[in-house]
């Protein structure tokens, strides 16, 4: 896919033309997603909490901590970044500041969910506490009003577990100005339910490809209902498995010759991370150079 600018990305999603997206948790994983050829990157709060705090996704990090990660990710890539903005970190007025801060941080879209603060990750929790629907709508209205650029997309996520409740909330959030609707994977159990949601709310869906969606849906079905199709945790889980495997062996063998997972060479990594580019900048702009004594 040709790299999309923010206006093109916004138009594509609103039109329901699917952008396949990888979840990332820091600047390095975002760069790897871009290199792989994904059309966009999504910051995953699950991954941010795990990688930066070593803690579960319970909104334990602050808005500022999340923003710092997101800003670094946006600076590292040239494709659109969708930010997991959790609950917006407070009430509707807090949401307005969150939207402005993340928009200034370089994101192309934000996902705002309708849980009570602090939230719990529905991927692992058996139940969550939802805001009253009118309060959830007020937060979406506030987010839409706060954005400076109409191309900055507001994605309303509903964490309702009941299909009828999720559809009712989705319709209300669209009326409040949401550009896309994101259900949680535990709510709907088949493609028919997702089609019903898509037709009822009248805007494309943002799908997190987890659980049954990974196993049961093919790409054509996803593209039929989704503007945004995200594999949120593949990068995090891949890195965890590879690092765990190699370090476990290394701790016992104290040598790198028998590691179970391949390791990127230093030459390859230096090229990927941009050493050559920065060495050229140093030669151009740094007037004093180090000299060795003979």
CB 90 within 8 A of CB 125: no
The span from the CA of 63 to the CA of 83, in Å, is: 12
Beta strands 109-113 and 81-84, pairing class: parallel
Question: How many C-beta neighbours within 10 Å does residue 26 have?
Answer: 19
Residues 6 or more apart in contact with residue 117 via CB below 8 angstroms: 59, 87, 89, 90
Q: Is 73 exposed, middle or buried (0-12, 13-18, 19+ CB in 10 A)?
A: buried
Question: What DSSP assignment string belongs to 257-289?
Answer: TT-SS----HHHHHHHHTHHHHHHHHHHH----
Catalytically annotated residues: 121
The span from the CA of 109 to the CA of 99, in Å, is: 9
Question: How many C-beta neighbours within 10 Å does residue 106 have?
Answer: 17
Question: How many C-beta neighbours within 10 Å does residue 253 have?
Answer: 11
CB 158 within 8 A of CB 114: yes
Q: What angle do CA 79, 70, 120 make, to 5 degrees?
A: 120
């Amino acid at each position: 896919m040709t790299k999309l600018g923010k206006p093109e990305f916004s138009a594509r999603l609103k039109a329901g033309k699917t952008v396949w997206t990888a979840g990332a948790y820091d600047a390095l994983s975002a760069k790897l997603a871009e290199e792989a050829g994904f059309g966009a990157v999504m910051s995953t709060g699950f991954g941010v909490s795990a990688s930066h705090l070593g803690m579960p996704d319970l909104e334990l990090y602050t808005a500022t901590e999340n923003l710092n990660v997101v800003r670094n990710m946006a600076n590292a890539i040239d494709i659109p970044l969708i930010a997991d903005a959790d609950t917006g970190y407070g009430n509707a007025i807090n949401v307005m500041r969150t939207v402005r801060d993340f928009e200034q941080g370089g994101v192309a879209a934000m996902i705002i969910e309708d849980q009570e603060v602090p939230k719990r990750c529905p991927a692992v929790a058996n139940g969550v506490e939802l805001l009253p629907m009118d309060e959830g709508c007020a937060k979406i209205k506030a987010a839409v009003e706060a954005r400076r650029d109409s191309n900055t997309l507001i994605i309303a996520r509903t964490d309702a577990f009941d299909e009828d409740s999720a559809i009712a909330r989705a319709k209300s959030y669209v009326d409040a100005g949401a550009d896309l609707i994101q259900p949680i994977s535990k709510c709907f159990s088949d493609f028919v339910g997702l089609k019903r949601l898509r037709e009822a709310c009248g805007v494309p869906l943002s799908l997190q490809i987890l659980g049954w969606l990974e196993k049961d849906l093919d790409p054509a079905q996803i593209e039929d209902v989704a503007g945004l199709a995200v594999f949120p945790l593949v990068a995090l889980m891949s890195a965890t498995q590879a690092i765990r495997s190699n370090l476990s062996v290394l701790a016992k063998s104290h040598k790198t010759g028998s590691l179970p997972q391949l390791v990127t060479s230093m030459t390859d990594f230096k090229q990927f991370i941009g050493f050559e580019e920065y060495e050229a900048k140093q030669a151009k702009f740094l007037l004093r150079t180090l000299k060795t004594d003979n």
